Amino acid sequence: MAGSRLGGMMQPPVIVLREGTDTSQGTGQLLSNIGACASVVACVATTLGPRGMDKLMVNERGQATISNDGATILKLLEIVHPAAKTLVDIARAQDAEVGDGTTSVVVLAGEMLKETKSFIEDGVSPHIIIKGYRKAAQLAVERIKEMAVKIDKSDPVAFRDLLMKCAGTSMNSKLIVSQRPFFANMVVDAVSALDQDDLDESLIGVKKVPGGAMQDSLLIKGVAFKKTFAYAGFEQQPKTFKDPKIVCLNVELELKAEKDNAEVRINDVSEYQAIVDAEWQIIYAKLEAIVKTGAKVVLSKLPIGDLATQYFADRDIFCAGRVAADDLRRVVEAVGGSVQSTCSDIEDRHLGTCARFDEVQIGGERFNIFEGCPKAKTATMILRGGAEQFIAEVERSLHDAVMIVKRAIKNNEVVAGGGATEMEVSKYLRDYSRTVHGKQQLIIGAFAKSLEVIPRQLADNAGFEATDVLNKLRMRHAQGHTWDGVDIESEGVADNMEKFVWEPALVKVNAISSAAEAACLILSVDETIRNRPSEQGQPGPKAPPGAAQRAMRPRGRGMGIPRR
């Protein structure tokens, strides 16, 4: 609202925003945003590290999720605060880009904002803080790249050992830590099965079968999917083949009632019979064409009806209809060939093959399994466990491990975990801050201090005396022990590079860059304008007095005749 006196007369107020709009601005708004982000961080901070706790989240439908994955927790929290949503975005970005470190990136961003609070209260311009943070983040990334240890890929045994250690480190904070060697081996085998040029992790299928123990989980170096919907005649089909030819279709092999497809007008009963016969001839022509290809396994995205199922069973052919699109895609990647949208002109080059096809019972489910695939660019992990929530958390844990192994293969540079890298970068930034003058010295020092939140939180979550651990780490890094970090087993500090607590350098680089960007973004906002939601049934603007009576008053005399 604005009002001014012009020519001795008060001008009427100018309304810029609609009624009900909520505005807040200035330092108070900035501090409020920082406080909101601190509340989000408090939700996930206790999940960090090997001794982190899990969160149990229940949605409005009563579905429970147990997880300690930062991105999963923030997604399920349904955060509505505009500034705090930034932390959700960086957690999702970290999950998509690297796959691990989602909790770390949120905790770092929250601590960076917390360190700026005193500067904001003292009246320091946010732009000065942003400039210092961007400089500090750039220096931190350069320092990590300098520190990173390059791994020689020429020795396949040593390189596999490195991948096992990286996968094991990502599982340290997960529910599956007790079976870490077993699952690390499974993850490395699965990633090794992919095409090493693009490493498309979507080609690693994950199937969950409740029941059994974790050790009953298995890796299929090929494709496995649950038995699809089956029609009569399915049980008569053979369930095992050696070196079968496989055809993948996007064709419906089912008789449909005429009314479902078209309207046909006829003058004679014989014409109706001719139409029915034509439909039968069409589907039989399709089935004969498939049999002539020599394929012994027929898969289709669309339904394969009872007529086709029985037809294939009579000729010792296995068929499965309504195969999920991602499963069919992985079958094609593994066995070769291509998906056909017609049954005519199918040649040998369109067919795939594998060493062995089986339909087997796993737990309470039957699975179709393709093994010994010549192009084997895919793998399938079949996970077992007692509860569905537990298996879902195992799947999330293995996704993190798969992404870590993928990044380690693509970027063969590793650093030590357990807070070692953060402490070394913090020491480097503290030393650098003493070489600059003015407010930037304090701001870069605050950034350096914020990095210490990772080892402090690791120690807190493990029940250690965090102050003592941090003081010891500061002393060790000042003496030149670059890779010293929190040691959960000895309740002290240790050289985490020697203890094989390794992570790809990309995880740290991405986490610090994203956290700094998020902090700078939130610091650059000094006003929030929130429009009132337009809801049905919400009262509109108040009518002037007497409007209702005027609306009810007849407009003319008699039968709607207007007044003159």
Q: What is the per-residue DSSP string for 20-67? A: T-EEEESHHHHHHHHHHHHHHHHHHGGG-STTPPPEEEE-TT--EEEE
Question: What confidence tens digit (pLDDT) does each residue in 139-188 have?
Answer: 999 999 999 888 777 778 888 888 888 888 888 778 788 888 899 999 99
- Give the confidence band of 532 by pLDDT, cuts at 50, 70, 90: low
The fold of 224-262+276-375 is: GroEL (3.50.7)
Question: What confidence tens digit (pLDDT) does each residue in 59-114 have?
Answer: 888 888 888 888 888 888 888 888 888 888 888 888 888 777 888 999 999 999 99
Phi, psi of 237 (to 5 degrees): -80, 145
Residue 545: pLDDT above 60? no
Q: Where does the chain hold its CATH 1.10.560.10 domain(s)?
A: 25-150+416-524
Q: Which residue has the tokens 């010293």?
A: 484
Q: How many residues does the chain have?
A: 564
Kind plus residue range of the DSSP H or E element containing 339 = strand 339-340
Residue 1: pLDDT above 50? no
Name which CATH class applies to 156-221+381-411.
Answer: alpha beta
Question: What confidence tens digit (pLDDT) does each residue in 187-228 have?
Answer: 998 888 887 777 888 888 889 888 888 888 889 888 898 888
Q: Where does the chain hold its CATH 3.50.7.10 domain(s)?
A: 224-262+276-375
pLDDT at 24: 63
Answer with the residue of higher pLDDT: 20 or 291: 291
Q: Where are the alpha helices (DSSP H) in 70-202?
A: 70-77, 85-97, 102-121, 126-147, 156-170, 180-192
User: d(Cα 461, Cα 445) in Å, to the nearest integer?
Assistant: 25
What are the residues facing 492 on neighbouring strands? 487
- Rounded average pLDDT over 331-352: 86
Catalytic site positions: 69, 102-103, 400
- The CATH architecture to which 25-150+416-524 belongs is Orthogonal Bundle (1.10)
User: pTM to 2 decimals?
Assistant: 0.74
pLDDT at 470: 93
- Rounded average pLDDT over 19-46: 79
